[in-house]
Each structure stands twice: as C-alpha cells, then as structure tokens.
Amino acid sequence: MPIIAPSFLASNFLQLGDACNMVNNSAAEWFHLDVMDGRFVPNISFGMPVIEHIRKTTTKICDVHLMIEEPEKYVEDFKKAGADVITVHFEACRHLHRNIQQIKNLGIKAGVAINPHTPVHFLEDIIGYADMILVMSVNPGFGGQKFIPHTLTKLQQLKQLITEAKANVLIEVDGGISLDNAAAIVAAGADVLVAGSAIFNAPDPAAVIQQLKNI
C-alpha cells in the first residue's frame, strides 16, 4: 500500500487547524508541505512560521518540499521548524551532492525532486545518496493541474535505476493524482502519493485518503 501525503497547498488556510485534525485522524501517514519562493516557481506559499504551527498539531511525518532557489540557506531553519524530510529540486541546486549531505547531517531524510522536463538518468550519480526521489507529474508552482502521462514512463525508468544501483530510495509523485490514475502510478513504481485537490476538494477528504491508501 502506498504512503499517502496530503498536500496542504490545496487546503483552506483559514481552516488550517481543521485540515491538520482531518489528516491526523485519517489513514494518511505524511503531511506534504510545499514551500514556494516566487523565484524558482511563479507562486508564493508559506514558510517556517506556518510549518512550526503545523508541527505542533501532529506526530506524523512532515514532508517539506522546497520549491525555492538557494535551499542551502534555509534547510537548517526548516529542520528547526519541524521537517522530518526535506526535498530540494535538482534544477535549483548547483552542488546537489552537497545539498543532500547538508540535509542528512541535520539528522533528517533528504529528497531530490525533478521537474517534468528533467530526465531520470540525470540522477545516476546521486541515487545512492538520496533517501527519496520526488517525480513532479505537473510543472511546479500551482495546484489543480492535470497529471502528465509521460510521468508513468519516468517512474518505470526511475524504479529500474534504483534497482540497478541497489539503492534504498523511496519514489514520491506529486501533481494531478486522483482516484482515477493512482493505481497506474503505484503500478509504475510510486511509494508515496502526494494529493492535494483530490483530497481537500472532496466532500469527504478522509474517505478519499482511505481509498488512495487501499490502492
């Protein structure tokens, strides 16, 4: 069964406490928290203060996805805010191996995200160092986008790369995930499903989480 990580970018920020309670009482294991800086992506979301408050509501994994430039300047602060996993973008890091080591030296898990245009084989030299690879199945920056079908091929390629490297790496997928395509995404190799609109826009979000969990 996949790990389910509801994306709080799609939640109602005026009822953030209610959203936290819903996820806490659901079958979801992770909180997925998207940080955007208006530079790496054309949108701004939230930062350390919001994550600090979310952290106080839960003992579940806080999965922090940094869609920001120069993440090395901020990872220590996000760790202090409560991150259990910090994911940085391949495209934002000039010295990716150093970025991964910096995160792992804080005693937390390090993830690497790739955008839709980035080939899987670019990860060959760091696959043995990362704890997780996040495959973006939409272009980052906005929720509610449609899943890019080619992602399924990329997931299969990534699974093969991990197997050949004998690496212990989770595969996370983010963008356009719904009850209609989740089974195919898991079959292609995904371990962690990030879902925002499909969960938070549903009449019964916890029921959708359970359905995704049962796939």
> Residue 7, annotated ligand binder?
yes
> The tokens 């495209």 sit on which residue?
91
> Residue 47, annotated ligand binder?
no
> Residue 189, annotated ligand binder?
no
Structure tokens belonging to residue 154: 């990329």
d(CA 10, CA 34): 10
> Residue 143, annotated ligand binder?
yes
> Residue 180, annotated ligand binder?
no
Secondary-structure breakdown of the chain: helix, strand, coil percentages, each rounded to the nearest 5: 40, 20, 40
> The tokens 């983010």 sit on which residue?
174
> Residues near 160 by Cβ (< 8 Å), separated by ≥ 6?
none
> Cβ distance 200 to 11 under 8 Å?
yes
> Residue 176, annotated ligand binder?
yes
Query: How does DSSP assign 119-172, residue by residue?
Result: -GGGGTTTTTT-SEEEEESS-TT-SSPPP-TTHHHHHHHHHHHHHHHT---EEE
> Residue 65, annotated ligand binder?
yes
> Residue 111, annotated ligand binder?
no
> Residue 196, annotated ligand binder?
yes
> Residue 45, annotated ligand binder?
no
Active site residues: 34, 174
Which residues define the annotated binding site? 7, 32, 34, 65, 141-144, 174-176, 196-197
Which residues define the annotated binding site for substrate? 7, 65, 141-144, 174-176, 196-197
Which residues define the annotated binding site for a divalent metal cation? 32, 34, 65, 174
